[in-house]
């Protein structure tokens, strides 16, 4: 069986109650749950939370909350992979024969069913897959500032290189993390070389960590919905 695991702790600080805050009319976590359901890939969509209000909201949109996340995985320092691994181990300990897991962020309304399907297909080629996107400017032309404010190139060997001649660079865009059971139980991380990158266009990527991000995300979502991309 395949499961989706949506981490959604209750203690978000920069945007209070972020995971269930209304995003264009419904809790933002509902978008991730509904997208996962539409793929038809998942036997169960689990929300891992330490918060009863989040759990109740998740269940109302079709997810399950078969356990409450332990305190040691619910603070500011808790990483995504350990939370997903905990959910997988809980399932295995309770008789669920899980083949693959997709960790899906609660605040990822720009994820599409096609994105998730591409990630799942990648598991036949790699042990894991995650959403990535390109940097908007060549990172090899990046600058540093010293304590006096003077600038210098981080990679001075690229001083005279044209932007178009530099290699493309990518970063995790914080939407989803597919992995086989073997990959998650191995303790390996996604950046260690086993994972395949699923390219998401930059115009469909938006971190949502501040109030300004939230406003921008709602405006962007409206545009993408009007153009038929969502």
The tens digit of pLDDT for each residue in 52-82 reads: 999 999 999 999 999 999 888 887 767 889 9
Q: Which residues contact 21 (CB under 8 A, 6 or more apart)?
A: 15, 27, 28, 214
* Rounded Cα distance, 3 and 152, in Å: 47
Q: Is the pLDDT of residue 28 over 80?
A: yes
Q: Among 56, 71, 80, which residue's Cα sits nearest to residue 11?
A: 71
Q: Is the pLDDT of residue 157 over 80?
A: yes
Residue 104 dihedral angles phi and psi, to the nearest 5°: -130, 125
Q: Is the pLDDT of residue 8 over 90?
A: yes
Residue matched to tokens 């689990």: 46
Q: What percent of the chain has pLDDT over 90?
A: 89
Residue 193 banded pLDDT, cuts 50, 70, 90: confident
Kindly list the structural domains of the chain, giving each domain's residue range(s) and its CATH number in brackets, ordered by start: 2-132+170-226 (3.90.550.10)
Q: Is the pLDDT of residue 130 over 80?
A: yes
Predicted TM-score (pTM) of this structure = 0.93
Range scoring the smallest mean pLDDT among 26-30, 76-80, 111-115, 225-229: 76-80
Residue 112 banded pLDDT, cuts 50, 70, 90: very high
**Average pLDDT along the chain:** 95
- Predicted confidence at residue 88, as pLDDT, reads 98
């Amino acid at each position: 069986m395949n499961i989706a695991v949506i981490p959604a702790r209750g203690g978000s600080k920069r945007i209070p109650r972020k995971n269930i805050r209304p995003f264009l009319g419904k809790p933002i976590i509902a978008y991730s749950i509904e997208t996962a359901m539409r793929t038809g890939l998942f036997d169960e969509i689990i929300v891992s939370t330490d918060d009863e209000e989040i759990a109740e909201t998740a269940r109302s949109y079709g997810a399950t909350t078969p356990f409450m996340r332990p305190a040691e995985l619910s603070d500011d320092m808790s990483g995504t992979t350990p939370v997903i691994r905990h959910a997988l181990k809980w399932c295995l300990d309770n008789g669920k024969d899980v083949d693959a897991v997709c960790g899906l962020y609660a605040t990822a309304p720009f994820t599409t069913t096609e994105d998730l399907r591409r990630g799942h297909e990648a598991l036949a080629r790699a042990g894991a897959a995650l959403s990535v996107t390109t940097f908007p400017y060549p990172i090899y032309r990046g600058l540093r500032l010293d304590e006096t404010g003077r600038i210098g190139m981080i990679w001075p060997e690229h001083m005279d290189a044209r932007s178009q001649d530099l290699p493309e660079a990518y970063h995790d865009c914080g939407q989803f993390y597919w992995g086989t059971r073997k990959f998650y139980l191995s303790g390996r991380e996604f950046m260690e070389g086993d994972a395949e990158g699923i390219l998401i266009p930059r115009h469909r990527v938006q971190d949502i960590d501040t109030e300004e991000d939230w406003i921008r995300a709602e405006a962007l979502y409206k545009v993408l919905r009007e153009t038929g991309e969502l």
